[in-house]
Structure 1
Amino acid sequence: MTFQSTILTHPGLGNSGPEHWQSLWEKQFNFTRVEQQDWETPVCADWITTMNDYVQQRGPENVILVGHSLACTAIAYWAQKYNVHIKGALLVAPSDTEADTYPPGTTGFKPVPLIKLPFKSIVVVSSNDYYVTAERAALFAKSWGSQLINIGDAGHINVTSGFGDWPQGLDLLKQLDN
C-alpha cells in the first residue's frame, strides 16, 4: 500500500507507544508524527499552534491528519482557529473532554467544538469506549460533517483494546488519500 498524501499522525493524551497503530504506521509508511512538547498536561493552544506549523511546512492541500483520542478534539480546535483546507482527517476514538470519565490535567480542550470541519473527515468510534459514549461520538461526527464508522466493541481503539497493527484503519485512511 502506498500513499500519495503527506500523512501527519497526532496521538492523544500521553502520546502513542511503540506498539500503537499510529507508531506502527509511521514506521511502515514513513508517516510523520506531530511532536508536541507536553503529552501529559497539554494546553490546547500550544497543541494547535504546533499542529499548524507542521501542516503549513508540508503544504496543507496534500496533508491528511490522523488523530487519536484527544488529538481529534485538538484537530477540531485547529480547524476552528485556522480554517485551513487540508485533504482530510481520520479521527479515531475521539474522547469527550467534557465527560466525568475524562482524565484531569488538560487545559483548553473543552467544550468540544461542534463545528463543520472545512475538509473531508472520517470518525471511527467504538460502542464501548470508556472516554466517549457512542451518542456523543455520533454528535461529534455529525457536527464535524464527518462520515461515522462504528467498529463495535473495540474499546478506545488502542493497544490496550488489542489494536496494534490495524489494517482496517489503513483502508479508511486510503479512502481519504484518493
Structure 2
Amino acid sequence: MNPSSVLLLPGWQDSGPGHWQTEWERLHGDRRVQQHDWMRPLRGDWSARLEEVVADAPGEVVLAAHSLGCILAAWWAAHTRHAHKVRGALLVAPGDVERPDLAAQIRGWTPIARQALPFPAVLVGSRNDPYCSPERARALASDWGARFVDLGLSGHINADSRLGAWAEGRALLDALMNKD
C-alpha cells in the first residue's frame, strides 16, 4: 500500500503540532480527512465526509483514528457501503462521548456504535486517559472486535503525551497495512 492510502481521522479540535497524526502526515504523506468544523463536530457531516473520501480513494485504505475519530470510524462503519475498501483501522484513545461531561461538550454523538467492525482493528488505550477509562476502552475494543493494546500511563495519547512520530503506533499501523 502506498502512504496516501492511510487516512488520518483526528478528533475534536483536529490534531495540531506535536501530535503523532500531524507527524505521520509530515513524515509519511498520510492524508488527513479534513472536516468542515473541527470545533462543533456534527456526526452526520463528519460521517458524510469520511464516506466521500473513502469512496473516492483509488484502492484500499487504512484508517488511523484518534479520540472522536475512533467514534466516527465505528459509526461510519455501521452505515457505509464502502467498508470493503478498509484494510484495517488503528483506533487510538477513543473519547467516551457517552460520559455526561463529554456528551455535554460534544452533542449528537451518542449512542456510540457498538457493533463488530467489518475490518481488522487495533485499539490503543491508556490507563490514565482523561477522556476514556481503561475499562471503557477495553469494552469498546471487545465490542468492535479490535485487539486491545495497553499503552500504560500515556494520557490521551496526543501531543501532550510527547510521543513525537510514535514509532510503536506506526508499527501497529504497518501490521494492519500488511495483513493478508
- TM-score (normalizing by structure 2): 0.92
Q: Match for 2:66: what amino acid?
A: H
Which range moved further: 3-12 or 88-97? 3-12
1:55 maps to which residue?
54
What secondary structure is seen at the aligned counterpart in 1 of 2:62?
strand
Structure 1: stretches of 5+ with no match in the other structure:
none
> How far apart are the structure 1 equivalents of 2:75 and 2:93?
16
- Verify the 8 A CA contact 1:3 1:174 in the aligned structure 2: no
2:63 maps to which residue?
65
- Verify the 8 A CA contact 2:123 2:141 in the aligned structure 1: yes
| CA deviation string 1:10-64 (max 9, x = no partner) | 10000000211101100111110000001111000100000011111114x5100
- Work out whether 1:168 is the aligned partner of 2:168: yes
Identical-pair percentage: 39
- Work out whether 1:116 is the aligned partner of 2:122: no
Aligned-residue offset at 1:107: 3.3
CA RMSD between the two structures: 1.6
1:33 maps to which residue?
32
| CA deviation string 1:55-103 (max 9, x = no partner) | 11114x5100110000100110000111522101100000100113426
What secondary structure is seen at the aligned counterpart in 2 of 1:35?
coil
> How far apart are the structure 1 equivalents of 2:129 and 2:103?
14
- Verify the 8 A CA contact 2:43 2:108 in the aligned structure 1: yes
> How far apart are the structure 2 equivalents of 1:50 and 1:105?
22
> How far apart are the structure 1 equivalents of 2:43 and 2:105?
11
> How far apart are the structure 2 equivalents of 1:80 and 1:103?
20
Aligned-residue offset at 1:4: 6.3
Aligned pairs, number? 176
1:130 maps to which residue?
130
> How far apart are the structure 2 equivalents of 1:82 and 1:102?
26
- Work out whether 1:10 is the aligned partner of 2:37: no
Which range moved further: 127-136 or 81-90? 81-90
- Verify the 8 A CA contact 1:101 1:131 in the aligned structure 2: no
> How far apart are the structure 2 equivalents of 1:19 and 1:133?
24
> How far apart are the structure 1 equivalents of 2:90 and 2:44?
21
Which range moved further: 32-41 or 81-90? 81-90
What secondary structure is seen at the aligned counterpart in 2 of 1:22?
helix
> How far apart are the structure 2 equivalents of 1:46 and 1:64?
21
Distance 1:3 1:124, change over 3 A: farther
What secondary structure is seen at the aligned counterpart in 1 of 2:100?
coil
Distance 1:4 1:39, change over 3 A: closer
> How far apart are the structure 2 equivalents of 1:158 and 1:7?
18
Aligned-residue offset at 1:3: 4.9
Structure 2: stretches of 5+ with no match in the other structure:
none
Q: Match for 2:38: what amino acid?
A: W
> How far apart are the structure 1 equivalents of 2:28 and 2:160?
23
